[in-house]
């Protein structure tokens, strides 16, 4: 289920910029500027499978509950997302929902993605939520859950 890991990471990270950059980056203009910048950078890191960016934006204790219902660690998610046999050229976010408080936030929505995993095509339509925590003045994703939408 390598594709589940990669797709889950893409979905988990797709939350973005205070200015809409493209369908793969969320519209976070109503969020506090520091959270909006962090969410945007995380979306971009996911879409571009930027290992360094993912290391930065995912907390060390990060957990992803993936499409298969299994928990995955930060290391597992990053390893799966950076697999060169997985390509996801199309990601689009919609139906975004935000809630934030002083040192935390829940950012979610619907994600559509298309690509190939080890030569096999895939398409995804799912709902996700990323939980963010502000620790030592820095925003990081601490938890993601993603579920298929029928």
| Contact yes or no for 4/19 (Cβ under 8 A) | no
| Average pLDDT in the chain | 86
Per residue in 20-47, pLDDT (tens digit) is 456 678 899 999 999 999 999 999 999 8
Per residue in 40-83, pLDDT (tens digit) is 999 999 988 899 999 999 999 999 999 999 999 999 999 988 88
CATH of 2-148, one of 3.10.180.10, 3.10.450.50, 3.40.30.10, 3.40.50.970: 3.10.450.50
Given strand 71-73, what is the order of strands in its sheet? 71-73, 58-65, 138-148, 120-135, 104-117, 86-101
What are the b/e assignments for 111-150, b being 16+ CB within 10 Å? Answer: bbbebebeeeeeebebbbbbbbebeeeebbbbbbbbeeee
Three-state DSSP class for 50?
coil
Q: What span, in angstroms and rounded, lies between the C-alpha atoms of 10 and 87?
A: 11
Residue 52 CB burial class (10 angstroms; 0-12, 13-18, ≥19):
exposed
pTM above 0.85, yes or no: no
Q: What span, in angstroms and rounded, lies between the C-alpha atoms of 10 and 4?
A: 10
Query: Where are the chain's structural domains?
Result: 2-148
**Percent of the chain whose predicted confidence (pLDDT) is above 90:** 71
């Amino acid at each position: 289920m390598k594709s589940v890991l990669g797709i889950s990471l893409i979905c988990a990270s797709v939350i973005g910029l205070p200015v809409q950059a493209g369908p793969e980056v969320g519209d976070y203009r109503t969020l506090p500027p520091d959270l909006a910048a962090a969410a945007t950078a995380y979306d971009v890191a996911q879409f571009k499978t930027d290992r360094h960016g993912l290391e930065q934006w995912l907390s060390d204790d990060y957990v992803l509950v993936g499409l298969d219902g299994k928990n995955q660690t930060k290391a597992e998610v990053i390893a799966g997302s950076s697999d060169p046999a997985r390509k996801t050229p199309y990601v689009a976010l919609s139906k975004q929902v935000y809630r934030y408080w002083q040192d935390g936030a829940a950012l979610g929505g619907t994600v559509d993605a298309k690509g190939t995993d080890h030569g096999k095509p895939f398409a995804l339509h799912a709902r996700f939520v990323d939980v963010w925590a502000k620790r030592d003045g820095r925003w990081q994703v601490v938890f993601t859950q993603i579920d298929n939408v029928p």
